């Protein structure tokens, strides 16, 4: 029971008891007054009758008439006329019936009717006595009315007192409620400043102390966030142009090739500005820096409409563009436009004209390629372009060993897979120091020839055909069915960007999660870091929905992008997954151990579990264990296997 309820209950009991005692005292006084009135009335009537009957002692009939008249004119239970020796001369009596008063009230309120006695004197002789017993009925009715009024007054006063005490306590303890909310926010890893400072000295000290603590934690969090951004920029950014460097491009290309979404296939272009090394010597660094910045701006402008486009400076005279989920025809258009604009800029710069030639080489990539193979194909295409005229853009020609499926054939194959059950799930465990954290699900396809393909093979085309949401629903429903049968284990389902953007899909997801509350502790939702970067508002809404429905969620393939870092506190996922290469790169480069400590400080302060993925060897795991990372995923931990059941 809360402190407010305890105080409210205590005050209510005290006030109610006090009020009940006061009202009981008033009722007892009224009862005593009624009893006295009953006796006094009987006594007065007895005296009056004694005087009247004294002059009528010789006429018994007249005495009876007098007694009857008095009895009928008042409220009496009994009037008895007796001689001196006790012989009853006349008695007038009425049955004790009281209308309008509950029997229970009469039973518990004892209003005893005393007998008033008066002597009857006739001259100097005593005739006898007159005994009068009053009827308590009118007094019971009066007491019952008084009791009802007191009860109504009691209820009104009690309600008023309780309401007043409630409001007063609310006012007095409002600061305490705000302190409680702030404490709950801190326990949920939220940084909340209490702007209302209470006047009560004790509570004021508590609020100021908690605000100071929150401000310090917020400052530490912001410093660590800035440290990560700074070291990430040092590690992955080209200082001259602000573009990414070769190291980041290689890492991100591998990330694309290993993904299970539309980024698993696309196009890579290398743009060469041959002769820049000569112009560096002849024109000087300040002019060249401006030229590089201008070229970088051309690359940004020409690729701004491409989703997830990656721009990098590979070397002194080479730039690269990766266009995920891009056809060769569209990629050639972009590359040729870039080369054309770069050549025009070269021609406008007198320092470069005649010294620098621009060419481009392109190569397609797909999920089965390696990073080295893609780079080699792009380099080969660039070499072919350089052998031609300046401004030439060459595309590496793949050997077609298999027929290329059109959209109709792809759609037919996907529809057939749904109808005949060719889609199936596999899972890879995430292992923590306490055991299995969860299993991440992967969808696979068995084609008509019996070959098994992972998602990177068919998801780009499925997304292009608008089938991504259908596949996500299949995975979610299959996971729910599995968890409904299994008594233990947690499954993580990774939903696509297209699913997150689809309003109808999110409505379906809410209904699905509502219908599967029984397994919400064992079903977690994952969203890609790229989805968070491209659609932060959608992801924040989705995170709020999942948190409100008490489902766990995480961010997969977290790259510590500036956008996702800024949103990490607001998203507050249960976990983030970072490829081990990012973490180990941090550790192996200069100053980067501080960055690793910074991301661990941030995740610890927010209560977020950091999961290192793509762990291939025990040495990798041990190196990260030394840095207090406890959750791992990868073939070096546990392989991908079928989802049994």
CB 323 within 8 A of CB 269: yes
Place of tokens 């006084």: 29
Determine the Cα–Cα distance for residues 55 and 121; give it in Å rounded to an integer.
Answer: 8
Give me the CATH code for the 247-395 domain, please: 3.30.70.270
Q: What are phi and psi of 610, to 5 degrees?
A: -100, 120
* Length in residues, the chain: 645
Mapping DSSP to helix (H, G, I), strand (E, B) and coil, where does residue 400 land? coil
CB 546 within 8 A of CB 553: yes
Mapping DSSP to helix (H, G, I), strand (E, B) and coil, where does residue 228 land? helix
CA atoms within 13 A on the CB side of 420: 12
Which residues of the chain does CATH 3.20.20.450 include?
407-642
pLDDT at residue number 575: 95
Determine the Cα–Cα distance for residues 536 and 478; give it in Å rounded to an integer.
Answer: 28
Strands 609-613 and 575-579, sheet pairing = parallel
CB 175 within 8 A of CB 205: no
Which residues of the chain does CATH 3.30.70.270 include?
247-395
Distances (CA, A) of 337 to 31, 271, 297, 344: 106, 11, 13, 11
CATH architecture of 407-642: Alpha-Beta Barrel (3.20)
CB 491 within 8 A of CB 405: no
Helices (H) and strands (E) in the chain, counts: 21, 20
CB 75 within 8 A of CB 99: no
Place of tokens 């209904």: 511
Assigned token pair, 94: 């009425």
Determine the Cα–Cα distance for residues 51 and 480; give it in Å rounded to an integer.
Answer: 102
pLDDT at residue number 283: 47
For residues 467, 493, 603, 518, the Cα torsion angle rounded to the nearest 10 degrees is 130
Determine the Cα–Cα distance for residues 441 and 425; give it in Å rounded to an integer.
Answer: 6
User: If you write DSSP's letter for every residue of 29-75 in order, what string do you get?
Assistant: HHHHHHHHHHHHHHHHHHHHHHHHHHTTTT-HHHHHHHHHHHHHTS-
Determine the Cα–Cα distance for residues 386 and 390; give it in Å rounded to an integer.
Answer: 7
- Residues (pLDDT < 70) of the chain are 1-4, 55, 57-58, 73-74, 96-97, 106, 111-112, 123, 135, 137, 188-189, 277-287, 350-352, 399-406, 585-592, 645
Q: Quick one: how far is CA 489 from the chain centroid?
A: 23
Maximum Cα interatomic distance, the chain, rounded to a whole number of Å = 162
Mapping DSSP to helix (H, G, I), strand (E, B) and coil, where does residue 444 land? strand
CB 335 within 8 A of CB 269: yes
What's this model's pTM, rounded to 2 decimal places?
A: 0.68
Burial of 78 per CB tally in 10 Å (0-12, 13-18, 19+): middle
Distances (CA, A) of 36 to 42, 107, 134, 382: 10, 19, 11, 122
pLDDT at residue number 613: 92
pLDDT at residue number 52: 76
């Amino acid at each position: 029971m809360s402190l407010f309820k305890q105080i409210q209950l205590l005050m209510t009991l005290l006030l109610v008891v006090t009020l009940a005692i006061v009202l009981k005292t008033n009722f007892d006084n009224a009862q005593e007054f009624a009893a006295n009135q009953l006796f006094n009335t009987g006594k007065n009537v007895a005296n009056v009758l004694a005087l009247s009957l004294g002059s009528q002692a010789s006429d018994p009939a007249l005495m009876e008439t007098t007694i009857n008249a008095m009895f009928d004119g008042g409220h009496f239970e009994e009037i008895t006329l007796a001689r001196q020796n006790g012989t009853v001369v006349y008695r007038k009596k009425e049955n004790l019936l009281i209308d309008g008063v509950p029997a229970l009230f009469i039973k518990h309120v004892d209003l005893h009717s005393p007998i008033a006695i008066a002597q009857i004197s006739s001259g100097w002789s005593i005739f006898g006595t007159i005994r009068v017993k009053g009827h308590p009925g009118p007094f019971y009715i009066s007491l019952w009315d008084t009791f009802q009024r007191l009860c109504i007054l009691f209820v009104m006063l009690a309600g008023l007192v309780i309401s007043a005490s409630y409001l007063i306590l609310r006012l007095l303890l409002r600061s305490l409620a705000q302190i409680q909310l702030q404490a709950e926010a801190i326990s949920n890893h939220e940084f909340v400043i209490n702007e209302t400072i209470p006047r009560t000295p004790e509570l004021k000290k508590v609020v100021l102390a908690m605000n100071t603590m929150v401000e310090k934690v917020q400052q530490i969090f912001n410093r660590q966030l800035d440290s990560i951004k700074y070291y990430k920029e040092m590690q992955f950014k080209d200082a001259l142009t602000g573009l990414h460097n070769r190291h980041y491009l290689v890492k991100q290309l591998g990330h694309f090739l290993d993904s299970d979404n539309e980024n698993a296939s696309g196009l890579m272009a290398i743009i060469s500005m041959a002769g820049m090394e000569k112009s560096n010597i002849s024109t000087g660094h300040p002019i060249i820096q401006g030229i590089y910045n201008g070229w970088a701006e051309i690359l940004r402008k020409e690729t701004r409409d491409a989703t997830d486009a990656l721009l990098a400076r590979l070397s002194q005279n080479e730039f690269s563009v990766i266009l995920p989920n891009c056809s060769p025809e569209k990629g050639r258009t972009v590359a040729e436009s870039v080369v054309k604009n770069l050549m025009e800029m070269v021609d406008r710069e007198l320092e470069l004209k005649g010294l620098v030639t621009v060419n481009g080489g392109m190569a397609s990539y797909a999920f089965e390629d390696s990073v080295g193979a893609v780079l080699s194909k792009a380099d080969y295409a660039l070499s072919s372009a350089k052998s031609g005229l300046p401004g030439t853009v060459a595309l590496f020609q793949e050997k077609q060993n298999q027929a290329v499926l059109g959209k109709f054939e792809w759609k037919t194959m996907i529809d057939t897979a749904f109808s005949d059950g060719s889609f199936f799930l596999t899972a890879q465990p995430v292992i923590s120091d306490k055991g299995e954290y969860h299993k991440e699900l992967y969808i696979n396809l068995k084609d008509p020839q019996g070959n098994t393909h992972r998602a990177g093979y068919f998801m780009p085309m499925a997304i292009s055909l608008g089938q991504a949401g259908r596949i996500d629903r299949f995975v979610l429903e299959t996971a729910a069915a599995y968890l409904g049968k299994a008594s233990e284990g947690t499954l993580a389902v990774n939903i696509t960007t297209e699913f997150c953007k689809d309003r109808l899909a999110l409505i379906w997801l809410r209904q699905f999660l509502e219908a599967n509350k029984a397994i919400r502790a064992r079903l977690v939702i994952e969203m890609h870091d790229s989805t968070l970067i491209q659609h932060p508002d959608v992801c924040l809404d989705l995170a709020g929905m999942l948190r409100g429905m008490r489902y766990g969620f995480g961010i997969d393939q977290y790259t510590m992008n500036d956008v996702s870092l800024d949103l990490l506190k607001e998203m507050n996922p249960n976990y983030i997954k970072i490829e081990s290469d990012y973490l180990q790169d941090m550790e192996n480069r200069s100053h980067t151990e501080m960055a690793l400590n910074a991301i661990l400080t941030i995740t610890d302060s927010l209560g977020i579990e950091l999961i290192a993925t793509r762990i291939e060897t025990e040495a990798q795991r041990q190196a990260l264990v030394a840095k207090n990372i406890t959750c791992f995923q990868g073939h070096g931990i546990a392989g991908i296997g079928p989802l049994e059941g």
